[in-house]
Amino acid sequence: MESENKTAPVLELKDLRKSFGENHVLDGFNLKLFKGENLVVMGKSGSGKSVMIKCLVGLIEADSGSIRIKDHDITKLGQKELDILRTEIGFLFQGSALYDSMTVRENLEFPLRRHKKKLELKGNTESLVLEALNNVGLANSIDLMPAELSGGMQRRVALARALILKPKIILYDEPTTGLDPITSKEIIQLMRTIQDTYSTSSLIITHDVDCARVISNRMILLVDGVNYAEGTYQELIASQDPKVQAFFKN
Amino acid sequence: MGRDKTIIDNTKDFFAEVGDMSYFTLRFFREVFKPPFEFKELMRQCFNMGNRSLLLVVVTGFILGLVFTLQSRPTLTEFGAESWMPSMVGISIVREIGPVIIALICAGRIGSGIGAELGSMRVTEQIDAMEVSGTNPFKYLVVTRIAATTLMLPLLIVIGDTVALLGSALIENLKGEVSYLLYFNQVFDAISYADIIPATIKSFFFGFAIGLVGCYKGYYCSKGTVGVGEASNSAVVYTSMLLFVIDFIAVFITDIFF
């Protein structure tokens, strides 16, 4: 859109709070993702990164705070409006989350069933599926079942599925977890290629420092449920704060 | 480690679960008549459940008929009432034993399968993936499965009853030298609509209960792979109990109206 510029965030979290019993996972977390940006959120395991990203798409209900995506406060949206807004967000799950009873083709067709007409996507279902698979280099695997794919291939198919509705924002939940270093690099490279091809804004949750270094424009360190530190990779690695240093030491 | 649960805690948990399941049931009825309809998935589920349970139902039904006739024969012979065998077996199987046994078998076969399938989809975030893609996983996964069990179970019960009667007829033919024609004439003379209609209505409720509990346990599964096992296991246990409760209510109502 014409009015969109670098200062207007496409996604914004304000004072987000979420507790599970006495465990305050998010305790006033703030975040702004700008158009075309790759924002990495790093944190230790169990620091609430995945909870935060799930609050963003309405999979988990936040206790308080606001979540604005493209000028919509998702905490105030009805189910129908939320479903429509979700089509503008691609989500790559930590474990790929491919539907294991469906072939690769059916996995990619699934989001199209409800939204192809509404989104006025050009081309038939077959061509859209092939286009998405070509972008991740797996057009030959179209009729395979997820169980027949390697971990890296599954992640690629999951990425293709996240891209099928041509979203403007992509959320990555630990995109390189469980992959060997070479495959991790391939996935990171793929993420960069996708951003160039689709002009997306990306929010990446990870504890993989290499991934953060290669892909991030900006980083947020999530510690004790709040933004502990924020800046570019170079700024954070130069920090003398012991808690910040703990992330980069190894 | 948490403290052991008291009876009060368990009672609270029980009522909380009853409340959740009631809400789940209401949600099913709210979604089932609302478009878009997932006919293709419904047909796939009907085929899967019907086709994959058929052999089990046929074998169980046949053995049920054989054993029931073999066990009843000596007692009826002692009272000189062998000629009542076809009508007694026919009424028992059609009204009560057939529907209950086949439903229990299907609770084990279908209910646990649904619980495990949806449970593993939940823990591997496949249900979440459906939700974030803007589709309604409840409609796609739950509504279709409950509708499929509700539609398929009466059919499986009819097949199971028929095979059980065939098994019984075989024993009567071998042991009592009763022809198949005579056997089935006596069976159909004894059975009336007052036997068939309540049993058929009951079997729809059995199917609904199997689908509902399996889906509920699987859809809200937690605690990783352990949770999947628990979902599958508790789906069978809860469904079996629920089947007996439904059966009791059905018999009670039948007693009033028929």
- CA distance to partner chain B, nearest, from residue A174 (Å): 14
- Whether residue B197 is contained in a domain is answered as yes
Given a cut of 90, whether residue A248 has pLDDT beyond it is no
Residue B107: the pLDDT is: 94
Residue A3: the pLDDT is: 42
**Nearest residue of chain A to residue B36 (CA atoms):** A114
Contact list, B132 vs chain A (CB under 8 Å): 57, 59, 86, 89, 91
pLDDT tens digits along A59-95: 999 999 999 998 888 888 888 888 888 888 999 998 8
- Whether residue B6 is contained in a domain is answered as no
What is A1-79+171-183+200-250's CATH number, 3.40.50.720, 3.40.50.300, 3.30.365.10, 3.30.2000.10?
3.40.50.300
pLDDT band at A250; cut points 50, 70, 90: low
Contact between chains at B131 and A59 (C-beta distance less than 8 A): yes
Residue B138 corresponds to which amino acid? Answer: F
Size of interface A-B (CB pairs under 8 A): 55
Instruction: For residue A158, give every residue at least 6 positions away whose Cβ sits within 8 Å of its Cβ, in sequence order, or none.
Output: A92, A93, A96, A97, A98
DSSP code for B111:
I
Residues B210/B156, Cβ–Cβ less than 8 Å: no
Residue B42: the pLDDT is: 95
Q: What is the pLDDT along chain B (258 residues), one digit of tens a residue?
A: 456 778 888 888 889 989 999 999 999 999 999 888 889 999 999 999 999 899 999 999 999 999 999 999 889 888 888 888 999 999 999 999 999 999 999 999 999 999 999 999 999 999 999 999 888 899 999 999 999 999 999 999 999 999 999 999 999 999 888 899 999 999 999 999 989 999 999 999 999 999 999 999 999 988 788 889 999 999 999 999 999 999 999 999 988 877
- Whether residue B116 is contained in a domain is answered as yes
Residue B185 parent element (H or E)? helix B180-190
Question: Which parts of chain A fold into alpha helices (H)?
Answer: 49-56, 79-86, 104-119, 125-135, 151-163, 181-198, 209-215, 233-237, 242-248
pLDDT band at A4; cut points 50, 70, 90: very low
- Higher pLDDT pick, B145 / A119: B145
Residues B64/B99, Cβ–Cβ less than 8 Å: no
Q: Give the start-to-end residue ranges of the domains of chain A.
A: 1-79+171-183+200-250, 89-166
Q: Is residue A155 less than 8 Å (CB to CB) from chain B?
A: no
pLDDT band at A118; cut points 50, 70, 90: low
Contact between chains at B130 and A84 (C-beta distance less than 8 A): no
Tally: H helices and E strands in chain A? 9, 10
What global pTM score does this model have? 0.88
Residue A116: the pLDDT is: 62
Environment class of A234 (CB within 10 Å of its CB; exposed 0-12, middle 13-18, buried 19+): exposed
- Whether residue B31 is contained in a domain is answered as no
Q: CA torsion B45→B51→B52→B56, rounded to 10°? A: 140
The whole-angstrom separation of Cα A232 and Cα A221 is 11
Q: Structural domain tally of chain B?
A: 1
